[in-house]
Structure 1
Amino acid sequence: MDEMDDLRRMRAGLPDPTPAALAAARDRLTRRIATADPVTAPARPRRPLSWRSVLARRLAIGVAGAAAVAVGAGVVVATANHPTAPAPGAAGSHSAGTGTAVTTPGAALSLAADHTAKAGDPVVGRGRYRHVVSTSWHGEYDQGVAFQTKQRQEVWVPADSNGTWWWRETDCLDTRFASKADERKVRAKAPSWFTTKVSVASGHGDRQEAAPAGGPQPGGSGEPDWAFPTPAFLAKQPRDPKKLLAVIEAAQRPSALTKADRPTLAFLSIAQVMGSGYVPADLRASLYRAAKLIPGIKLNSTTAELGGRKGISVSKLSPYGILQQEIVFDAKTGAFIGERETVAKAIGDAAHLPVGSVYRSTSVTVDVTGNPKLF
């Protein structure tokens, strides 16, 4: 029996797995994570800027293994503000800070779409760059310990998107552990997690082509898609919300899970592509409206905090109800603040995973700068 057999059983409508089964799944997954060689990971060659590649692979296979991932791949850290948010789907009227009461996820997404269309895109003049900063926390596993690490990725997109792009990734900015004992163990056996590392690259159209000698070298990339968009790819997408959602659903990789739950995977793809930071305003507005059409979305909070900013949070449960994908956007401008996964269902053998804890998160900021000339 392999992982696909497990998926087929889940898809067949069997009861939820027992804590013992979850523990076994966790052990299988964490052993694979600990021994995996990212250079030979599937889907496309490894880039020096690794976290988006990791996230893309999680979107391709992570939802399918959500039950195992939730207990095996990342320690989650409870935040002071998140557990105080209303329970997913809780009834009631929320003030979005705009003078308009928001009572449904559809109303919130419509508001975001309207504000986004009105605000438009930042003006990027000749010789200037759109500078996107993505700060993420995600799970790692080493020495038998699950923990979180913080990364920051920066990308500079020129006014003429055919010009030279620049990337800078800063790894191991910080760590979070479930206990001091776990931290001591990793510090003793794998101290590299506590050393900040920086890699830079340049290229064209999201294709990294050059890097300083002695540093991580680009490994190439595949065709642009919803995980790795380019301005040209985004420009050709339909703006009609229904057609757009159909295109995103059709782009999900074939598997037992996608046949059963393409809408959930589409919601995850919307969260990821918005995080690229260079989706044009008209398409961002359409993505909000497309998300509105996905069944099962919930209004979490109108005061959700992510990356030091507050906004509206709309979510969609994973197929197994354990993780919850959220998108967070500014109530006044519709600007995309970020996305995160939180724990939505208690897990019997994992007391360190309380409901409402953050499993993984990414916050995004966008500004306009000059040429960074990183090397």
Structure 2
Amino acid sequence: MQLLREMRSDIGSAPPATLARGRNKLMASIDASSRPEAAARTHELAKVSPFRVRRRILMVSAAAALLVGGIVAAEVVLPNQPGATAEAAEILNNAAAATIQTSDPIVGPGQYLKIETTAVYSSGSVAADGTQDAWLDKTGGQVYVPADRNGEWVWNREERVPLEPVSDAAKADAVQRQKKDQGRPAGQPSIVGIQRAPGGAFYGNKPTVIIGTPLTEAGSLPRDPRALLNLIQERTKGAGPSPEMEALITIADGLRTGVVPADLRAALYKAAALIPGVAVVDKQATLNGKTGVAIGIQSPDGGGRQEIIIDPATGLMIGERNVSLKATADFPAGTATSWTSVQTSVVNSAP
């Protein structure tokens, strides 16, 4: 208890007499639990659930701590909650620490935060005779966020074009997309080229941090990792292949925006460390020319894996990707059927 109190320098030490009384009561409780009837009760509890025995012991320890020192050290006495593997949790927590130490870029008056993304998505088509074809498309864009985030944001959207090698169906699909975009009625927004919107509300949609919370209300989100994860799982209930996978996808979506403040990015990393099934899948993952550590979670059927790739030195997210773990008629096992890389910088002008 003295060691625990030394961690909180603003709280005085308990008097020796108080410590002695608490120790005596605790030892008396231990002595009582060693009697035959107590041992028999513990044996009966073990038949029901081994977790109940551990929880009971921890509750006794918590009560003793309260009696002796007048404080509750919750992180010390509560049972370990299931979460990411120890290796993944260490990397995510280290990334959170690095994120706090790495200050957010300073955007001065007249300047912009430039968020550049490169993305790949899978596409497909079905011919009149029922023949199916699939391929990968590449696209990208740059978002310019003004120093005053209520000001005009600029988004340069690039065309979505098939990657090489491509089939005739892929080429035809790309041509049709371009014709459709060029033939839009006057006043209807294009899907490529320069887009402008006050406060980043492109196509009438405000930028969000996580589902249900716009960027302007990022300060309202909890910074406690467990509370943040609970909120994410509540808002994504019933979505995605599994609650755990959907939670990681939601965290990746938030980090990918490039505008999440450092303290919230740190909380998102720590929340990811609490998700069961999250593990390190590649310590040298390269995405769009940058290398980092890939943290991922498999889908329940084992057919795919969602990953986030982190630069462990800075805590910045390099990007995210979805990898097919089973071969299909269109893609071999190990294919990244979708991925997005993110890079931020400060610039003096926007298109």
> What TM-score, normalized by structure 1, do the two folds share?
0.62
Letter in 2 for 1:355: A
Cross-structure match for 2:46: none
Cross-structure match for 1:187: 171
Structure-2 change in CA distance of 1:107 and 1:223 (3 Å): closer
CA contact 1:156–1:167 (8 Å) conserved in 2? yes
- Residue 247 (str. 1) matches residue 261 (str. 2): no
Match of 2:148 among 141, 153, 160: 160
Structure-2 change in CA distance of 1:322 and 1:369 (3 Å): same
Residues of 1 paired with 2:213 and 2:349: CA distance?
22
Cross-structure match for 2:159: 171
User: 1:353 Cα shift?
Assistant: 2.9
Structure-2 change in CA distance of 1:311 and 1:202 (3 Å): same
CA contact 1:165–1:206 (8 Å) conserved in 2? yes
Residues of 2 paired with 1:228 and 1:155: CA distance?
22
Cross-structure match for 1:291: 272
SS class of match (2:160): strand
- Residue 205 (str. 1) matches residue 199 (str. 2): yes
After superposition, residues 53-64 of structure 1 pair within 5 angstroms as none
Structure-2 change in CA distance of 1:194 and 1:207 (3 Å): closer
SS class of match (1:294): coil
Alpha-carbon deviations, 1:199-237, whole Å to 9, x = none?
Answer: 2211122212xxxxxxxxx4x226846258643132221
Cross-structure match for 2:10: none
Residues of 2 paired with 1:319 and 1:283: CA distance?
29
Alpha-carbon deviations, 1:46-88, whole Å to 9, x = none?
Answer: xxxxxxxxxxxxxxxxxxxxxxxxxxxxxxxxxxxxxxxxxxx
- Matched residue count: 252
Cross-structure match for 2:253: 272
Letter in 2 for 1:243: A
Name structure 2 gaps, 5 residues minimum.
1-84, 182-190
**Over aligned residue pairs, what C-alpha RMSD do you find?**
2.6
CA contact 1:206–1:229 (8 Å) conserved in 2? no
Cross-structure match for 1:327: 308
Cross-structure match for 1:263: 244
Cross-structure match for 2:205: 221
CA contact 1:134–1:154 (8 Å) conserved in 2? yes
Structure-2 change in CA distance of 1:317 and 1:224 (3 Å): same
- Residue 150 (str. 1) matches residue 150 (str. 2): no
Residues of 1 paired with 2:218 and 2:330: CA distance?
40
User: 1:262 Cα shift?
Assistant: 2.1
After superposition, residues 1-375 of structure 1 pair within 5 angstroms as 104-142=87-125, 143=127, 144-177=132-165, 183-187=167-171, 191-192=175-176, 198-208=192-202, 218=203, 220-221=204-205, 224=208, 226=210, 230-252=214-236, 254-255=237-238, 261-344=242-325, 346-347=326-327, 350-372=328-350, 374=351
Structure-2 change in CA distance of 1:225 and 1:111 (3 Å): closer
SS class of match (1:104): helix
CA contact 1:139–1:360 (8 Å) conserved in 2? yes
User: 1:250 Cα shift?
Assistant: 1.2
SS class of match (2:123): strand
Residues of 2 paired with 1:228 and 1:135: CA distance?
26
Cross-structure match for 1:45: none
> What TM-score, normalized by structure 2, do the two folds share?
0.66
Residues of 1 paired with 2:206 and 2:197: CA distance?
14
Name structure 1 gaps, 5 residues minimum.
1-90, 92-102, 209-217
Structure index of larger Rg: 2
Alpha-carbon deviations, 1:142-173, whole Å to 9, x = none?
Answer: 34321111111211111111111111100124
CA contact 1:297–1:315 (8 Å) conserved in 2? yes
Cross-structure match for 1:43: none
- Percent of aligned pairs sharing the same letter: 31
Structure-2 change in CA distance of 1:358 and 1:228 (3 Å): farther
SS class of match (1:171): coil
Residues of 1 paired with 2:250 and 2:324: CA distance?
19
CA contact 2:162–2:174 (8 Å) conserved in 1? no
CA contact 1:134–1:362 (8 Å) conserved in 2? yes
User: 1:273 Cα shift?
Assistant: 1.1
Q: Which structure features the higher share of helix residues?
A: 2
Residues of 2 paired with 1:166 and 1:310: CA distance?
29
